[in-house]
Chain A
Amino acid sequence: MNLRAVAAIYKFEMARTWRTLLQSIVSPVVSTSLYFVVFGAAIGSRISEVQGVSYGTFIVPGLVMLSVLTQSIANASFGIYFPKFIGTIYEILSAPISHVEIVLGYVGAAATKSIILGLIILATAGLFVPLHIQHPVWMLSFLVLTAVTFSLFGFIIGIWADGFEKLQMIPMLVATPLTFLGGSFYSVNMLPPTWHSIALLNPVVYLISGFRWSFYEIADVRVEISVAMTLAFLAICMTAIWWIFKTGYRLKR
């Protein structure tokens, strides 16, 4: 294991995060605060409690997940797309490092960034609504698992994309709708039966449900199913990356 190489990539990527601190950390915090002002304070006060929790409090886990998901995809896809775009990928490909090490470096850094971001958003939320976390260990586990899984997903998009347009397309057209429809702002149990069944095809439902359970012990689906679905998605992403490196898809000519 070339741990020095993993550390080098990780540090390089994290340096980019600190260099673009405003864009990386501050802007998601600002936008999340706006959600709270609108949904928590303005509209939320007129909405009745959801499953015994006030609406403002109810949306906290969903909002954190929304940011963690989109940021993981954005960070990881950009992290690997950019060297491809400017050509510095030659050095990564010609270095004595394995695929696992490349992924550890890039995905590790992307996930770290979104986890930090998730925790900052959680802290920001605490300023607006009272928070209580029933299962902190589970909460962190879901956070880490989601960040890693969607950073892997972002890594795949970054390799697949051969233009900035494609780089934006999946997060915008797939990830954001899935998150919004995945129960960030409501419980899928509120949906009519047909839509409820359709919603259960959305993998994000399981992530948000599990994450919310770790806060308030209320869930749309059983927590075991949430864990299983997250792990399944993780496995799918890992398989895809294994295939990418095996074939050199979009990396090697």
Chain B
Amino acid sequence: MAPVISVSGLSKTYPSGFTSLNNVNLAIERGEIFALLGPNGAGKTTLISIICGIVNASTGKVAVGGHDINNDYRAARSMIGLVPQELHTDSFESVWATVSFSRGLFGKPKNPALIEKILKDLSLWDKKDAKIITLSGGMKRRVMIAKALSHEPQVLFLDEPTAGVDVELRKGMWDVVRELKAAGVTIILTTHYIEEAEEMADRVGVINKGEIVLVEDKARLMAKLGRKRLSLHLQNRIDAIPETLAPYHLTLSEDGWRLAYDYDTKGERTGITSLLGDLRTAGIRFVDLETKQSSLEDIFVSLVSQ
């Protein structure tokens, strides 16, 4: 199936000479949750802003649902809902009015029942007549999500949606996202909470210094790049690692009760069998062992720091 968003050869250089995006190519599949990760200033927001029509690209093409974002902007933008990173809200309008306004702006006929459902899903229903200025930051964030959902987008951009939102509400927000995915909405999110990407995303893209460093299926990425750590709980504490075990680059905990061994799961030989054999020869016994997969965060940090 054709990707719902296709970005090809996209570059953006600001008048100041700063290159924010450098020849970005990206295809987002219909119905997936795509997590875009990258350090601050990597170009995440610029990329989203170009796709949504807020920033002009320097070169390159973007199509949404097969519609070019410049030549066929109406069709392209009609499909998109955007929740920007910054809290840009009106102040004196009511929640209901501002959400209804968004629906009108996207050319959709009135649908009070739908807006009621969205506000209820986002726990905003009891605030529907409140002026936005009276709401907390987390509520304003949800108002912005409600505005983006009011026009029933097929593609939803969430730029740092959980920044400044407490744990409880964050959970509620992700429930909404799961529901949208179930309804077939494609979701592209950027987040600083890598555990969220790890939990929610189908695919992960990493952007650094304006270039896409990697796009990969999340599970495959974690399998491919993931390192594992084997921890051994010793029967008797030791003061130093015996010379014979030097090739394994083991680390000994400060209290002398634990040995840790890092190995690559994608390697042909993990070295575990021989390590255990050599431990036995060295007379080191252990009472317990555990292995731990490295998280997406570890993977991310190792990629970006390269």
Q: How far is the CA of A96 from the CA of B88 in the complex (A)?
A: 19
The smallest beta-carbon distance between B171 and chain A, in angstroms, is 27
Q: Which residues on the A side are within 8 Å of B193 (C-beta)?
A: none
Q: Taking CB as reference atom, which chain A residue is nearest B108?
A: A4
Number of A-B contacts (CB under 8 A): 81
Asked if residues B52 and A94 are in contact (CB atoms below 8 Å), the reply is: yes
The smallest beta-carbon distance between B167 and chain A, in angstroms, is 27
Q: Which of A1-54 contact B (CB under 8 A)?
A: 2-5, 7-9, 11-12, 15-16, 19
The smallest beta-carbon distance between A93 and chain B, in angstroms, is 5
Asked if residues A7 and B104 are in contact (CB atoms below 8 Å), the reply is: yes
Given known contacts A8-B101, A12-B101, is B107 in contact with A94 (CB within 8 Å)?
Answer: no
B258 within 8 A of A: no
Asked if residues A95 and B106 are in contact (CB atoms below 8 Å), the reply is: yes
Q: How far is the CA of A15 from the CA of B102 in the complex (A)?
A: 15
Q: Which residues on the A side are within 8 Å of B106 (C-beta)?
A: 5, 95-96
Q: How far is the CA of A11 from the CA of B93 in the complex (A)?
A: 12
Asked if residues B91 and A86 are in contact (CB atoms below 8 Å), the reply is: yes
Q: How far is the CA of A90 from the CA of B45 in the complex (A)?
A: 12
Q: How far is the CA of A252 from the CA of B50 in the complex (A)?
A: 10
Q: How far is the CA of A3 from the CA of B91 in the complex (A)?
A: 25
B78 within 8 A of A: yes
Q: How far is the CA of A91 from the CA of B104 in the complex (A)?
A: 12
Which of B79-87, B211-219, B223-231, B232-240 is the interface stretch? Answer: B79-87
Q: How far is the CA of A87 from the CA of B105 in the complex (A)?
A: 16
Q: Which of B66-111 contact A (CB under 8 A)?
A: 73-78, 80, 82, 84, 86, 88-93, 97, 101-109
A235 within 8 A of B: no
B54 within 8 A of A: yes
Asked if residues A86 and B88 are in contact (CB atoms below 8 Å), the reply is: yes
Q: Which of A72-109 contact B (CB under 8 A)?
A: 86-88, 90-98
B53 within 8 A of A: yes
Asked if residues B80 and A94 are in contact (CB atoms below 8 Å), the reply is: yes
Asked if residues B104 and A19 are in contact (CB atoms below 8 Å), the reply is: no
Asked if residues A4 and B54 are in contact (CB atoms below 8 Å), the reply is: no
Asked if residues B53 and A94 are in contact (CB atoms below 8 Å), the reply is: yes
* Interface size grouping (class) on chain A: 20 to 34
Q: How far is the CA of A98 from the CA of B73 in the complex (A)?
A: 9
Given known contacts A87-B88, A90-B54, is B104 in contact with A96 (CB within 8 Å)?
Answer: no
Q: Which of the residues B14, B86, B97 comes within 8 Å of A87, measured between beta carbons? A: B86
Q: How far is the CA of A8 from the CA of B110 in the complex (A)?
A: 11
Asked if residues B77 and A96 are in contact (CB atoms below 8 Å), the reply is: yes
Asked if residues B105 and A93 are in contact (CB atoms below 8 Å), the reply is: no
The smallest beta-carbon distance between A91 and chain B, in angstroms, is 6
Q: Which of the residues B53, B54, B88, B104 comes within 8 Å of A8, measured between beta carbons? A: B104
A248 within 8 A of B: yes
Q: How far is the CA of A95 from the CA of B55 in the complex (A)?
A: 13
Asked if residues A96 and B107 are in contact (CB atoms below 8 Å), the reply is: yes
Q: How far is the CA of A36 from the CA of B55 in the complex (A)?
A: 50
The smallest beta-carbon distance between B53 and chain A, in angstroms, is 5
Q: Which residues on the B side are within 8 Å of A92 (C-beta)?
A: 105
Asked if residues B88 and A93 are in contact (CB atoms below 8 Å), the reply is: no
User: Which of A3, A87, A253 gathers most chain B CB within 10 Å?
Assistant: A253
In addition to A2-B74, A91-B102, A253-B14, 11 A-B residue pairs with Cβ atoms within 8 Å of each other are A8-B104, A8-B105, A11-B101, A19-B92, A92-B105, A93-B54, A94-B54, A95-B77, A96-B106, A97-B74, A97-B107
Interface set of A (CB-CB < 8 Å, partner B): 2-5, 7-9, 11-12, 15-16, 19, 86-88, 90-98, 248, 252-253
Interface set of B (CB-CB < 8 Å, partner A): 14, 49, 52-56, 73-78, 80, 82, 84, 86, 88-93, 97, 101-109, 147
Q: List 18 A-B contacts (CB under 8 A).
A: A4-B107, A8-B104, A11-B101, A12-B101, A86-B88, A87-B84, A91-B105, A93-B53, A94-B53, A94-B77, A94-B80, A95-B106, A96-B74, A96-B77, A96-B106, A253-B14, A253-B49, A253-B54
